[in-house]
Structure 1
Amino acid sequence: MGPAPSPALPSAARARRRRSRARAVPLRRGRGQRPGRRAPAARLVRRDGRREPPPRGRRGRARRGARRLRARTGGASRPSSPRGRAGALVGRPAGAARDEPPRGGGAVRRAPRARAGAVTLLFAEVPRFYAEVERALDPALAGRPVVVGGDPRKRGLVQSATLEALAAGVEPGMAMLDALERCPGARLRRTRMAAYREVSARLRALFRRAAERVELDGLEAAWLDPRGEEEDAEAVGRRLQREVREGLRLPLRVGIAPLKFVAKLAAEEAGEGGPLRVPLGGVRAFLDPLPVRRLPGVGPHTLGVLREIGVETIGDLARADPRRVEELLGNHGRALRGAALGQGESRLRPGPRARSLSQESTLEAPERDLGVLDARLRELAGGLAAALAREGLGARRLVLKVRYADREMVTRTLSLPRTLRSADEIAARSRELLQRTEAGERGVRTLGVAAFQLVAPPRDDRQLDLFGEG
């Protein structure tokens, strides 16, 4: 015989048992909870007059039905957006531009764009830089067509050419041999990057001398912000052209405009004459007649696509259907049309100045003669002074490096009460540092002089030795 069945409980006892089973269910331990500590009791929800724990998912979160139940019974749960972060775009047609109003009306949050006229920018550029530098370094090339590029025997390509060579049909990127066929009287020159960088350093020094805020663009060009100068932008441009022509024997073209790309186009239109200024109210009038291929970012493919819809000039692009342009070119087309409408960047990003400059020389053999070492120090001081002048800086700290014949290296440092800029001062201080070493007793193989704590002297006191040695 099996066990006797338990007697039936009265209705009141069964109700108490059901209430005891409806107690809070502990959640699993969270990520930030200490091990061994009980999780907080779960919140109970009211259903049919009873309080019961909400249905839980695998991660201990209330299921969607429980959230709806709390909302229906007066809970504080917030309904989630059906589209998440895209909810702000509800009502906007698919593929619409960001500045297109939504179908349901309301305010539009437009994309940020640069305001023309916030600043006046000056763009200065040496055209045909490599070829013009070769002509400046060799006066015998004056008036002769010059082509600069790779070795013709190794299928070298043209990198730069003077106006005379360009007029004869020479184009950058073509083979040097083909360039010689089109312009038989051209003088061919191999590329010399060391010489171009040296001239570029002197050109940049002139840019920094003309304005405090300068953003470099390659070896041969820069944007300048002439605000704060005593002269207006056109006077600054004319003075800069004169200094580059007299000091470096190079041509310079200058454009002035409220936007960076417009200033660059203005410089190209100005040529080597006086600066060309595009005022704030004349940006569209200046851009409209220019060919659309002059816009930055318009290559052969983009040009072909624009011509398919009848766009030949920048003004045609400004008047074109924006939906059609964006359909064909996407975001790139939207940006190009914004440029055609006179929208662009006007903020300069000046590069950092040099934090230190140095000169170093290795002797052919270990040297003990202090007279020979002193002569080498004077050469290093001259080179360092020229480098400081090109950067428009002075030094408040000097460091001498000496490497002996046994490869041991020592340094000596001198902090200065005043700024050093001249070669004589640098040589005298370097000689004092050399006396604090074992030079003369031990053979010296390498000498080096470095300038630290570089500062810009007053603008009216700057000296610039453009063709100094070093």
Structure 2
Amino acid sequence: MDAQGLDKNRIDERLPGYRRIAHLDMDAFYASVELLRYPELCGLPVVIGGSGDWQPEIHKDGSWHFSRLRNYAGRGVVTTATYEARVFGVFSGMGLMKAAQLTPDAILLPADFRAYRHYSRLFKAAVAEITPQIEDHGIDEIYIDLCGLTDDTLTLARRIKQAVRESTGLSCSIGVTPNKLLSKICSDLEKPDGLTILDPEDIPNRIWPLPVRKISGIGPKATQKLAALGITTIADLARAETAFLQTHFGSSYGHWLHEAAHGIDDRPVVTESEPKSLSRETTFERDLHPRHDRHILSKILTGLCTDVANDLQRKGYASRTISIKLRYDDFRTISRNITLSSPTADAVAVRRAAEECLRRVSLKQKLRLLGVRASTLSAANTLRNSSMSHQGELPLAE
């Protein structure tokens, strides 16, 4: 035990130094993609959110006119923001109206998820050229198992960062440690364009002083509850007895908290995982009426079904169960699903199934969200693109 009551020997027991797990996190990914398109915005506070009527407009002289956040009115949320906007307290998930109060002069851009998915595929393919031992962890982050490679860790990490930059023009931050838990923490320590390599003996100085929320798996509610118990840093958490944590958080989660505080994580990098479902949904900028906004809703449904079908085709799956999700203006949420006679990845078939689901719900009340999900997935050997040109309108109220 050290003077603070922390057992440093506990760290070395379960952290084999030969494991090299990297976590790669793209820097302000969506915003960075937009800055490639609009380089004149580099260095400015930029907020990405919604998909409304604030598309940039080009002037006759070739310059762009951008909307300002102060002019926004609606209930959209921030998808991401540049680091220049984050210094004002803007963060993902914040309401755009709240963000406008914090930085009214920020540039407002709509989210373009097609572009983000394109760059996501590019950076993952670039890393796969160096090593295929990759665990996909979302559109902008991956875990990489470096154990089978002969190059030293610093050289490998720099090669990966350079490959990502050359393939996308974007920067990323990488943390390399003996496990996934520590690597995810470390990839965030020196952003943007960071590179952190951490050995077990570095945990007391680099990890323990951090707030507990830096551990992935400790959310806002757990952070608040830990603070009420006098635990605010990872060092505080490491000092707490396992029995004490289990008393307040339950046997399983309490044990995990103690392990995580000591940097212990035995999870492997999973290079192949079967998704249970694929889905797309959108929250509207304003509530839409099934009758008065029928054409708008029909277009949105078509887009969601097409996106779900494209996702299925790209990932090599077909779906037997198609579901729709509706959220009414009173926040009541319902879903309906239909099982098909055979699996499909065809956009027309997905939309027809979604229509059947919609016929089984009440469409007299305004809507604030619409979603489409494909589940009961199976591998498909041959998938064909399809056109929506012959598809009818959304079966809404007459």
TM-score of the aligned structures, taking structure 2 as reference length: 0.57
Pick aligned residue for 1:266 from 178, 183, 186: 186
Partner of 2:39: 139
| 1:128 equivalent in structure 2 | 28
Poorly superposed stretches of 4+, deviation over 6 Å: none
Identify if the C-alpha distance between structure 1 residues 137 and 286 changes in structure 2 by more than 3 Å, giving closer, same or farther.
same
* 1:250 matches 2:170: yes
Distance 1:228 1:295, change over 3 A: closer
Query: Which AA in structure 2 matches 1:172?
Result: S
**Higher deviation after alignment, 116-125 or 188-197:** 116-125
- Supply the distance in 1 between the matched residues of 2:266 and 2:24 (Cα, whole angstroms): 17
Asked if 1:231 corresponds to 2:131, the answer is no
Deviation of 1:114 after TM superposition, in Å, equals 6.4
For residue 272 of structure 1, report the CA deviation from its aligned partner.
2.8
Alpha-carbon separation, structure 2, partners of 1:200 and 1:193: 10
Secondary structure of the equivalent of 2:92?
coil
Q: Where do residues 373-452 of structure 1 align in structure 2 (5 Å cutoff)? A: none
Partner Cα separation in structure 2 for residue 274 and residue 128 of structure 1: 12
Pick from 297, 302, 308 the counterpart of residue 222 of structure 2.
302
Q: Is the 8 A contact 2:78 2:91 kept in 1?
A: yes
> How many equivalent residue pairs?
245
SS of equivalent to 1:244: helix
Q: How far apart are the structure 2 equivalents of 1:308 and 1:187? A: 39
After TM superposition, give the deviation of residue 351 of structure 1 in Å.
2.7
Unmatched runs of 5 consecutive residues or more in structure 2: 1-12, 53-71, 275-313, 316-383, 386-398
CA distance in 2, matches of 1:115, 1:244: 29
8 Å CA contact 1:252–1:272 kept in 2: the answer is yes
Structure 1 residue aligned with 2:258, among 323, 330, 337?
337
CA contact (8 A) 2:171 2:193 kept: no
How many Å separate the matches in 2 of 1:216 and 1:256?
Answer: 16
Pair member with larger Rg: 1
1:167 aligns with 2:82: no
Cα deviation for residue 323 of structure 1 reads 1.7
**Aligned mates of 2:194, 2:84 — CA distance in 1:** 21
What is the CA–CA distance in structure 2 between the aligned matches of 1:307 and 1:177, rounded to whole Å? 30
Per-residue CA deviations over 1:364-402 (Å, capped at 9, x if unaligned) read xxxxxxxxxxxxxxxxxxxxxxxxxx99xxxxxxxxxxx
Superimposed CA distance per residue, residues 53-111 of structure 1 (whole angstroms, 9 cap, x where no aligned partner): xxxxxxxxxxxxxxxxxxxxxxxxxxxxxxxxxxxxxxxxxxxxxxxxxxxxxxxxxxx
Q: Secondary structure at the match of 2:230?
A: coil
Give the aligned CA root-mean-square deviation in angstroms: 2.5
- Cα shift readout 1:315-350 (whole Å, capped 9, x = no counterpart): 111111222211010121221111112211341100
Asked if the contact 2:27–2:193 (Cα under 8 Å) also holds between the matched residues in 1, the reply is no
Letter in 2 for 1:260: K
**Counterpart check, 1:349 vs 2:270:** yes
Query: Is the Cα–Cα contact under 8 Å of residues 21 and 176 in structure 2 kept in the other structure?
Result: yes
Relative contact order (alpha carbons < 8 A, sep ≥ 6): 1 or 2 greater?
2
Inter-partner Cα distance in structure 1 for 2:137 and 2:130: 16
Give me the whole-angstrom Cα distance separating, in 1, the residues matched to 2:262 and 2:119. 37
Residues 4-52 of structure 1 deviation map (CA, whole Å, 9 limit, x = unaligned): xxxxxxxxxxxxxxxxxxxxxxxxxxxxxxxxxxxxxxxxxxxxxxxxx
Shift of 1:243: 2.7
More strand by share: 2
Residue 129 of structure 1 aligns with an amino acid whose one-letter code is: F
Letter in 1 for 2:234: I
Matched residues in 2 for 1:308 and 1:170: separation? 26
Q: Assess if the C-alpha contact under 8 Å between 2:174 and 2:196 holds in 1.
A: yes
Match of 1:179 in 2: 99
Counterpart CA distance in 1 for 2:193 and 2:95 is 31
The change in CA–CA distance for 1:274 and 1:153 in structure 2 (over 3 A counts) is closer
TM superposition score normalised by structure 1: 0.49
Counterpart contact for 1:116–1:343, Cα < 8 Å = no
Task: Report the alpha carbon displacement of residue 273 of structure 1 after superposing the two structures with TM.
Answer: 4.5
User: Greater shift after overlay, 176-185 or 187-196?
Assistant: 176-185
In 2, Cα distance between the equivalents of 1:203 and 1:236?
A: 15
* Equivalent residue for 1:117, pick from 17, 21, 27: 17
User: CA-to-partner distance for each residue in 1:390-422, whole Å, 9 max, x for gaps?
Assistant: 99xxxxxxxxxxxxxxxxxxxxxxxxxxxxxxx
Q: Percent identity?
A: 30
